[in-house]
Amino acid sequence: MMKAVQRLIVSIGLCVVGCGAADVGAQENPHANLSPSAIDDQISKWVEAHPDLVLKSINAYMASQQPNLLSFLASADVLIDSTLPGVGAKAEQADLTIVEFSDFNCHYCKEAENAVRTKIQEHKTIRVIYRDLGFLHPSSELAALAAKAADRQGKYHEYRAAVFAGQKQTGFTEDDLRSFAKQVGLDVPRWEADRISEPLKAGLKADMDLIAKLKVGGTPFFFGWVPSTKYGLISQGAVTDETLEAIIQDLRNGKAS
């Protein structure tokens, strides 16, 4: 994010220095022959003289990079996919659905597991859908594909639990992922073929394209949706029993968190 902000400041400065011709009509741009160091000096002076404009531009840029609830609401039909693995009430019986975007290398996603399990026991009409992403570590994508392959054998949840239990700071190796498959009793040759199959890769790419469009930049990320009222909310970051309960109550009450 800081690099993006730095590029934004430079862009503002270059516009000030390089767009001078717009102010003088057909006259030659007086800054055209400036050296790089002279341009840097001009930009620095302009930034120092206009901190309010720079701050306004930075704030506007950062706001544009944040997830927007309206974008999620517009994509609700895509996000609430009944074919995806989930826990809690059955899709047709749920009156409230929460989509959790997670990464198997995310420590906070691992911690969120207990809170999710607790809440679906307390609230019998809630369903939580899992969308596994692959951007925190090179092995995150491999783990997400491995879990999708386990889902084809009806053992997504067992595999998910095994992966989170085996989470480590260095990420997962191929041997780790294979060990989890054996641990939960998968048909390993079939699992091996499925996890490198084009349909699963295409599915993960579609998910990654979707979260890029929705500007999800971290995990865990939650999108809550109440179909009867068309009301939703988004929440990013670590959750506890208490914070997840607050999200549920906000959805029930139809007010923003």
**Domain chopping of the chain, boundaries:** 2-64, 69-253
Q: pLDDT, tens digit, for every residue of 150-206?
A: 999 999 999 999 999 999 999 999 999 999 999 999 999 999 999 999 999 999 999
69 — pLDDT class (breaks 50, 70, 90) = confident
Query: Which residues on neighbouring strands pair with residue 235, listed in sequence order?
Result: 222
Give the pLDDT confidence score for residue 24 in this predicted structure: 40
Burial of 175 (0-12, 13-18, 19+ CB in 10 A): exposed
Which CATH homologous superfamily contains domain 69-253? Glutaredoxin (3.40.30.10)
Q: Quick one: average pLDDT of 119-135?
A: 94
Identify which of 228, 252, 221 has the alpha carbon closest to the alpha carbon of residue 72: 221
Identify which of 207, 205, 220, 223 has the alpha carbon closest to the alpha carbon of residue 68: 223
Lowest average pLDDT, out of 13-27, 103-117, 162-176, 229-243, goes to: 13-27
Which are the contacts of 237, defined by CB distance < 8 A and separation ≥ 6?
108, 218, 220
Give the pLDDT confidence score for residue 58 in this predicted structure: 47
Identify which of 104, 110, 101, 184 has the alpha carbon closest to the alpha carbon of residue 136: 104
Whole-model pTM: value is 0.73
256 — pLDDT class (breaks 50, 70, 90) = very low
Which are the contacts of 126, defined by CB distance < 8 A and separation ≥ 6?
88, 89, 94, 95, 96, 97, 98, 119, 120, 248
Q: How many CB atoms lie within 10 A of CB 90?
A: 10
Q: pLDDT, tens digit, for every residue of 1-35?
A: 544 445 444 454 545 445 443 444 445 555 556 67
C-alpha span between 19 and 29 (Å, rounded): 8
Give the pLDDT confidence score for residue 50 in this predicted structure: 61
Q: With beta carbons less than 8 A apart as the criterion, state whether 224 and 251 touch.
A: yes
